[in-house]
Structure 1
Amino acid sequence: MRGLTVFIADLRNCRARELEEKRVNKELANIRSKFKDPALSGRQKKKYVCKLLYMYILGWDVDFGHMEAVNLLSSPKYSEKQIGYLAVTLMITETNELVRLVVNSMRKDLDDHVELHQCLALQAIANIAAREMAEGLANDVMRLLTVAHTKSFVKKKAALCLLRLFRKHPDLIPAKEWAEKILITMEENDMGVLLSLSSLVLAIAQSYPEAISGCVPRAINRMHKVVIERQYSPDYVYYKVPVPWLQVKLLRLLQYYPPPDDTALRNKLLNVLQTIIKNSQDIPKNVQHNNAQNAVLFEAINVAIHINPESDLVVQASALLGRFISSKETNIRYLGLETMAHLAGFAETVHTAKKHQETIIQSLKDKDISVRRRALDLLYSMCDTSNARVIVTELLQFLSVADYAMREELVLKIAILTEKFTTDYNWYVDVNLQLITLAGDNVSDEVWYRVVQIVTNNEDLQEYAVRTCLNALKSPTCHETALKVGGYILGEFGHLIANSPGGTPMEQFMALHSKFSMCSVGTRAMLLSTYLKFINVFPEIKEQIIGVFKQYRFVLDVELQQRACEYLAIATLPTDDLLQVACEEMPAFPERESALLSRLHKKTQDTEDRRTWQIGGLDANKDQLAVKKDNRRRSAVEAGHVTAPAATTTQPTNVMGELLNLGGSATEASNMQHQRNEPVGVSQDRFIHLTQEASGVLYEDSNIQIGLKTEYHGALGRVAVFFGNKSMATISDLNTELKGGDGVRVSLSQPIASVIPPATQLHQMYNVECVSPAGLSAHLRVTYNLTPSNAFNNAHHAALDLRLPIVPTKFLTPVQLPRQDFITRWQQIGTTREQQHISRTSASNETVRKVIGEALGFAILDEFDNAQQAQGTDAVVAAAVFNAADMKVGCLLRVETNETQKMFRITLRTTNEVVSEELATQLKEVFESL
């Protein structure tokens, strides 16, 4: 390799880039000519490939020599094979065409009995991790891991290689099928193999917990051997702590599973945790010893919290946490704050954290930003009604000096805490305006949207909110976000203070308009709408506002120009009828899940090892807490300590009670399941019911309940599908697929997890768009396994095919028509596109009217209604517009009923023949079910 040494020396001696480029080009030309020699020896190939590698590492383009590197893989000599693998790993990407040739060479080395060759292949597979490698070599890697005669150092590399492939291509690695073999390998005595294997098992447990649940007794037994029995190799003792890396991984693994039901196993685990905590009472003087001991200790505390946050063990550990958050070591403070946040997420009271509230608040001023983040998380988790004002005040003070990297998250948490624990809505408004003033640029739209919603929905708050906003607008440092809030609130509720000093109409207008020219186009457009509302309630300032509209009729921005022209036209009409209709007071917003929480969760993404708890206290972890309590109750029942209540196994959990309020009432959905004694599964009655309602139960049996909550606007809609686990077993491998017909376009907007623990509800969201009236249907395919609590029992597999109530009436918009317009359009359409149906019904006229006007999306025409009531006829006349992506179709309906003969006749006329047929079919089903 003297030539390589000389070449490297030449490049280092080049004092200019041009000289280095000249030397590189000369060497590339020389190597290219050498590679043309068919008699080139392996040693020469190795030397020239090394030179290419060195040039490649320096950043020069190397576009040849790849095939020679691949040929070196077939060499029987280790030195040549080693260079070949090094070149392949560095120079060949996973999309390169040579990957297939490399796969064949790697397979031969994996089958070879030379352990060094196997290790080279495993290392290259893990580094490249191409899809072809996962498809072709995963079985060979798995074989090396599980075969008994494989050397320990090969097994270590095989486990890590398999972990890399599983993380990158989880769909190609059959982890469920291999779970049993991997679990058997956990009985290995070699600590190095166990350490590598624990990383693989931990990754599989996060994706397929039920498949590899047998790792729990093995992990506990191994921890007992290491901590209690002291069975470990001296080579793996790190500063007097036995295999701390393995202990940490095994303790973290146990947090993904409920505590073991076996009493002996549980006692073993508690003994291990007690020993770890007891050994940590004394602080070692050696820093490395202290770090290793604390790494194990914190995971042990997390496991203790996971088992029972109210246990004596956790109380004992909480005293240590108080000491850790005051430590001088940054890492110790960080871990102490994070673990205390975990405790605050499951403990019934946050008394432990409250004792150290001042210390936690001081941690907000720590020099390390990671510690400041953890302190913020802990304050957010431990907040309740008793300390909310103190914590929010401290967070507002911290906001003025907080790092820009964490300001948006800090703003969201302050807004959530203020809303969640407010006992005085005046305080809520004050805090949010102060929040906007301090961090206006970091205040997301969701924050001020939420302020507007709460003010609109609380009449007692509106007058105070108007006064406060007006005072904020008069400040010379008013932020644009405050201007948006003030513009909306003054436009809606400014009349409440119009007669008080300082709140006259002109003062309100000037407070907004003085900042009009300094704000963005979107805010100006919003303020123009506010000005139009001012004209409606304050006619005395109409002339000044009309002057603004005239001024902005000729601006370059299209949005501002259009608004100014339209508003000017409305304001100058002879009558104020249209103005009053356009400026009607906004109705109350529907109560729904706060968008602030979803935005906060997006900002706090999890790491590779997913946490088993959420930041945010008991509310954020209520689902996990319910499952843990149920597991503890079942364990106590099996141990004979308490009597199981009979109702828990027969009455289903009210899983529909937490549906997102997309429209309709969640209680109606939960009550509907009890109103009929229907057979298990889906029924036509349920389907018809959901075509008329926004929420309800679509399918239900003894194991699962599937509910819907829908919202439609024009041709677009959202469908939330809720899956509730009613059984005491775990639903695993949940897979859903929604297929729409030719007339509907469906897309998944929020996926669902594949595992639903007992007594738990999860949901997924779909976006729906009507493309055409033909083929307007959708089917939901659901498959899952029901895994009993005893992992050794066979899982029950179920498959469901459900038709979703995506029907034509969901895309109707009610339209009020004058009587003469209706008659004219009815005659224009004629009988060519008319659909008529006569049938029997037991429903009253009032029921028919209610169904048409409230459930089906038609608008009952009042003029016809009044005239027919005067004539004594029983007929309902209604109109609507059917909305699709590229079309709108007028729909005219007349329903005549005869209560004496129990008959009704539906007459439907539309401007589209397909719409007539599809809509008439649905109306027939609905009316026949009455």
Structure 2
Amino acid sequence: MGSLRSFIKAVRKAKTIADERAVIQKESAAIRTSFRDVGLDQTTRRINISKLLYLYIMGEKTHFGQVECLKLLASPRFADKRLGYLACMLILDENQEVLTLLTNSLDNDMQHHNAYIVALALCCLGNIASPELARDLYTNVETILDSKNNFLRKKACIVAAKLVEKEPDLSEFFLPKALDLINEKNSSVLLGTLRLIEALYYVSNENRPALTKAIPKIVGHLKRVTTMGYQPDYDVMGTTDPFLQVSLLSGIRTLAIDLPFSEEINDILTQVVSNLDSGKNAANAILYECVKTIFAIQSDQSLKILGVNILGKFLATKDNNTRYVALDTLLSIVNIEPLAVQRHRSTIVNCLTDGDISIRRRALELSFGIINEQNIRVLAREILTFLEECSDQELKSYVTSQLTIAASKFSPNDKWHYDTLIRTLKAGGNALTPDITSNILALILQCNDQELKKHVVSRLFASCLEDENQFALALVTTWTLGEYGDLILGTSVEAGEKSEQVTEGRIVDLFEQLLDNSTYSAQELLQLTAYVLTSTLKLSVKFKNSSVIEHLRRIINSKTYDSNLEIQIRAVEYQEIFGQDAALKRGLLGKMPAPPVKERESLKLHKTSNHHKRNEGGGSGTASAAISTNSTQDDLLLDLIENDDAPGTASNDILSDIFGDSNPKSQSSNNFNGASANEIVAFENANVKVSFVPKQFITGDAIVEAIIVSKSSTKIDQFQLLIAVPKTQKLNITSTSGGDTLISRQSQIRQVLKVSGKPGSKLKLRIKLKYRLEGDAIVEDQFDFAGFKESL
């Protein structure tokens, strides 16, 4: 077998995909054969593993080398261990059964006299730890935390944070360590400790009171670092230890997010901001973290304005990354400090012409976020200019949608509103969605001012004459001319550089031009033809010129032989109506009544992801962190819970089928009726209280009763209780009582659950409540719960 270098060269020399596949398959076969050799030496094994990693990077199957990676760890040589642990971190994950074989190697290497080998074992544990590995090896991490080696203590803190996130029950062991380590002054140890504190804070509500007492110490560290003189070991472009400062600020933000106003925290944030020169990237990172902290905690009003001004300075820089961060942050705080953000309107608008599409998109969304009655004229003009020059179809759809919503909400007068909509039609091209088009038509119908309506029809007619290739504009103009074309007869309009007289013949000529336009798609032409036929028929009772009326009849007749059946049927029907008595036609072709304008919600260009959401309504952070060990499972659960069509019991059955075997049986719940002394309140708000009563916990199985009691003074009906457990556990819904209605403070709903899983594991539930308060809309509450003292 050749070396790794020769293997890579062979792959790169392959001229076709088939040649490359042949090289890879040949080498994979050779590696497999080599692994079967019982006398395989460590040098050859190391070469094979390095090739295996290259195969992994290329996306090839590498499962056959998992055990060989573990064998490499048994070597006393550092080079072998380094490659072995790297391979384990890449090729293995927490779901692999072979992971249990790694426990002994990790245990031995974390007690090794060589600090670098201990560091390798720590890195591997932190990357691929499963809950089982975490429980088996947490004592080794505790021991390292008590050592004198700062290099290892930092790594141990970070690994401890990973273990706590995998197994929240380990919090009780690492919480005292974290509170002790926060007194350290060493930068690297502090970095690790702050990471551990954040993990402890998020995995359980019970840890939070103790952790918040560490805020003064964190503030003290931040004061010390900001006032510290030049430190060559920690200086980055003139800023002292920016990594530690960012972590300290993040720690303050995490711990103080739910605490009342603190003068001490406000003072230190002001001090940090005032001591930094915003010209350097390291300083900007700290300033950005300051801004995030200012708006996350209870801070002073002047401090919030200062935070917005910092972001304004970011916008004025030439660095695209800094400007993007500023726009993104301003977008998240525009609802908190709208007036302060408004002061930077001109800078935000300037970003609409930036060469970077990401900056343009954020600036566009922020521009819509700061629109109000006072600046709607200025911002709408800038946004329309952007729309006219935009070539991104998806972005144009977003702009047209948002602009119509903003114009409807903040328009200074009706004339401006209609003019803006017409310009949007002209600039939006084919990007306008059907609902926007129908809303514009409904707005025109609702206009009761005849002079304004006449102005709108004239503007539409002139705009369509200037550019007949814009589908939405052509559609609205055609429909409007059919309803109100007689209003503008005899007037003149400005179409481009010349003035045109509006005559019956000119309107009909426009219809023919639209029907002959080859720029529309087949579907668009079909819809436009239907509109033209309807408008043609309507105008036949409004026009006076007999030759023009005959022209209208010929347009309808020409479509009676159309290849599209729908158009043909419509043309034949219209031809029949066309020949009816004038009085009958006038009654039949009268003006349409004005339909209602549909309310539309604002859109977002990007999705925000909150890795650590604050629990609302009393949910347990412990369950949230524990259940999130399988993100795919969570997503699936949330998708199922969002299903509004499923009734309560059926929804429970579906969730149980996904997360465990479910065959609900109809049996009486009388065995579990009555209050219990060990009732645990899991969730409570102004409407309902949810409690759990542990009935029986036997090895691997549990019976729990859920009790929902009304706290509202009104009736609650259409109640649904949706429950799910992690994939490693199975849920069986055995009994439900109480129906789906809660009479105020009188009745209750009970649900009996049977859960089975691995003995010793924690029972974790994700619950979603859906109900309707009498006379109100549907209310939804969701929470996680893992507060049972007993284990399965």
State the TM-score, normalized to the length of structure 1. 0.55
Instruction: Identify the range of structure 1 (417-426 vs 491-500) with the bigger mean alpha-carbon deviation.
Output: 491-500
Displacement of 1:586: 4.6
Aligned residue for 2:49, secondary structure, equals: helix
Report the 3-state secondary structure (helix = DSSP H, G, I; strand = E; otherwise coil) of the residue aligned with 2:708. strand
- Equivalent residue for 1:804? 718
SS at match of 1:349: helix
Q: CA deviation at 1:105?
A: 2.0
Shift of 1:276: 1.0
CA gap of 1:236–1:558, structure 2 versus 1, over 3 A, is farther
What residue identity is the alignment partner of 1:251? L
Q: 1:581 to 1:145 in 2, by over 3 A?
A: farther
Give the AA of the match of 1:312: S
Counterpart code for 2:422: L
Shift of 1:359: 4.2
Answering whether residue 619 of structure 2 is matched by residue 732 of structure 1, we say: yes
- In the alignment, does 2:290 pair up with 1:300? yes
Alpha-carbon distance between aligned partners in 1 of 2:303 and 2:287, rounded to the nearest angstrom = 12
Which sits farther off after the overlay, 357-366 or 467-476? 357-366
Task: Give the 3 Å change call, closer, same or farther, for CA 440–217 of structure 1 in structure 2.
Answer: farther
State the SS of the aligned residue for 2:619: strand
Pairwise CA RMSD: 5.5
Q: What's the counterpart of residue 515 of structure 1?
A: 514
- Alignment of 1:589 with 2:596, yes or no, is yes
Residue 72 of structure 1: CA displacement?
A: 3.6
- The aligned amino acid for 2:412 is T
Which amino acid letter does the alignment assign opposite residue 448 of structure 2? E
Q: CA deviation at 1:255?
A: 5.2
Q: Which gives a bigger RCO, structure 1 or 2 (Cα 8 Å, sep 6+)?
A: 2
The partner residue of 2:337 within 323, 347, 352 is 347
Partner of 1:108: 104
CA distance in 2: counterparts of 1:179 and 1:538, whole angstroms: 81
Task: Name the SS for the 2:607 alignment partner.
Answer: coil
Corresponding position of 2:425: 436
Could you report, residue by residue, the CA deviation over 1:148-168 in whole angstroms, capped at 9, with x for unpaired residues? 5477656655666687899xx
Aligned match of 1:218 = 214
Residues 804, 241 of structure 1: alpha-carbon distance in 2 compared, 3 angstrom cutoff: same
Alpha-carbon distance in 2 for matches of 1:78, 1:800: 62
CA positional deviation for 1:11: 4.7
Change in Cα spacing, 1:36 to 1:406, as seen in structure 2 (3 Å) is same
Aligned counterparts of 1:260 and 1:511: Cα–Cα separation in 2 = 64
- C-alpha spacing 1:492/1:37, structure 2 compared with 1 (3 Å): same
Q: Which residue in the other structure is 2:441 paired with?
A: 452
* Residue from 413, 424, 429 that aligns with 1:424: 413
> Contact between 1:466 and 1:486, CA under 8 Å: does it hold in 2?
yes
- 2:378 pairs with 1:390: yes
Deviations 1:419-448 (A, max 9, x none): 332112222222232233234244444543
CA contact (8 A) 1:488 1:530 kept: yes
Query: Is it true that 1:248 corresponds to 2:246 in the alignment?
Result: yes
Q: Which moved more, 1:64-73 or 1:53-62?
A: 53-62
Distance across 1 between alignment mates of 2:448 and 2:653: 42
- Is residue 448–residue 481 contact of structure 1 (8 Å, CA) maintained in 2? yes
Cα deviation, residue 279, structure 1: 0.9
* C-alpha displacement of 1:389: 1.2
Q: Residues of 1 paired with 2:224 and 2:318: CA distance?
A: 31
The change in CA–CA distance for 1:458 and 1:212 in structure 2 (over 3 A counts) is: farther
Describe the shift of the 1:347–1:59 C-alpha distance in structure 2 as closer, same or farther (beyond 3 A). Answer: closer
C-alpha distance 570-379 of structure 1, shift in aligned 2 (>3 A)? same
Query: What are the superposed Cα offsets for residues 684-708 of structure 1, whole Å, 9 maximum, x if unpaired?
Result: xxxxxxxxxxxxxxxxxxxxxxxxx
Aligned to 1:464: 455
Structure 2 counterpart of 1:279: 275
Partner Cα separation in structure 1 for residue 652 and residue 584 of structure 2: 42
Q: What do residues 253-298 of structure 1 show as CA deviations (whole Å, max 9, x unaligned)?
A: 65578766566xx122012112112213x56xxx6xx322222123
CA distance in 1, matches of 2:263, 2:507: 70
User: Any residues of structure 2 matched to 1:19-34 within 5 Å, and which?
Assistant: 31-34=31-34
| 3-state secondary structure, aligned to 2:524 | helix
Matches within 5 A, 1:480-495: 480-494=471-485
Cα deviation, residue 205, structure 1: 7.2
Q: In structure 2, do the counterparts of structure 1 residues 183 and 381 end up closer, same or farther at CA, with 3 Å as the change threshold?
A: farther
Q: Which amino acid aligns with 1:106?
A: L
- Give the direction of change, closer, same or farther, for the CA distance of 1:532–1:55 in structure 2 (3 Å limit): closer
1:291 aligns with 2:281: yes
List per-residue Cα deviations over 1:649-704 (Å, max 9, x = no partner).
Answer: xxxxxxxxxxxxxxxxxxxxxxxxxxxxxxxxxxxxxxxxxxxxxxxxxxxxxxxx
Residue identity in the other structure for 2:513: S
| 3-state secondary structure, aligned to 1:474 | helix
User: In 1, distance between residues paired with 2:302 and 2:30?
Assistant: 75
Deviation digits for residues 530-572 of structure 1 (CA, Å, limit 9, x no counterpart)? 5335525643577655544554455444554555456556667
- Deviations 1:35-77 (Å, cap 9, x if unpaired)? 3333334444333333444566578877854543454456566
Structure 1 letter corresponding to 2:459: T
Asked if structure 2 preserves the Cα contact closer than 8 Å seen for 1:45 and 1:68, the reply is: yes
Shift in Å, 1:529: 4.3
Q: In structure 1, how many angstroms separate the alpha carbons of the residues matched to 2:6 and 2:636? A: 57
Q: Distance in 2 between matches of 1:78 and 1:341?
A: 50
User: Is the CA contact 1:456–1:589 (under 8 Å) kept in the aligned structure 2?
Assistant: no
Does structure 1 residue 526 correspond to structure 2 residue 516? no
What CA distance in whole angstroms lies between the structure 2 residues aligned with 1:780 and 1:64? 36
The 1-side partners of 2:50 and 2:651 are apart by 64
Mapped to 2, the partners of 1:204 and 1:542 lie a distance apart of 81
Structure 2: gaps spanning 5 or more residues: 493-500, 622-634, 657-680, 687-691, 693-705, 711-715, 721-792
Normalising to structure 2: TM-score of the pair?
0.63
1:785 is matched with which residue? Answer: 683
Alpha-carbon distance between aligned partners in 1 of 2:611 and 2:389, rounded to the nearest angstrom = 32
- How far did 1:144 drift? 6.1
8 Å contact kept, 2:331–2:366: yes
Q: Distance in 2 between matches of 1:258 and 1:21?
A: 56
Which stretch of the first structure deviates more once superposed, 214-223 or 4-13?
A: 4-13
1:40 aligns with 2:40: yes
Counterpart-to-counterpart distance in 2, 1:56 and 1:470: 63
Letter in 2 for 1:785: F
Identical-residue share of aligned pairs (%): 21
Q: What amino acid does structure 1 have at the position aligned with 2:266?
A: L
What are the ranges of 5 or more consecutive residues in structure 1 without an aligned counterpart? 613-724, 735-748, 754-763, 789-793, 807-930
Deviations 1:722-741 (A, max 9, x none): xxx9xxx945369xxxxxxx
SS of the equivalent of 2:466 reads coil
How far apart are the structure 1 equivalents of 2:85 and 2:39? Answer: 22
Q: Secondary structure at the match of 1:459?
A: coil
Whether the 8 Å contact between 1:66 and 1:91 is mirrored in structure 2 is yes
What's the counterpart of residue 312 of structure 1?
A: 302
Aligned residue for 2:696?
none
Deviation at 1:31, TM superposition (A): 4.5
> Given residue 468 of structure 1, which amino acid in structure 2 is its aligned partner?
R
SS in structure 1 opposite 2:40?
A: coil
Whole-angstrom CA distance in 1 between matches of 2:105 and 2:709: 46
Indicate conservation of the 8 Å contact 1:146/1:182, yes or no: yes
- Contact 1:731–1:784 (8 Å) recurs in 2: yes
Contact 2:160–2:174 at 8 Å: present in 1 too? no
Q: Contact (CA 8 Å) 1:571, 1:579: kept in 2 or not?
A: no
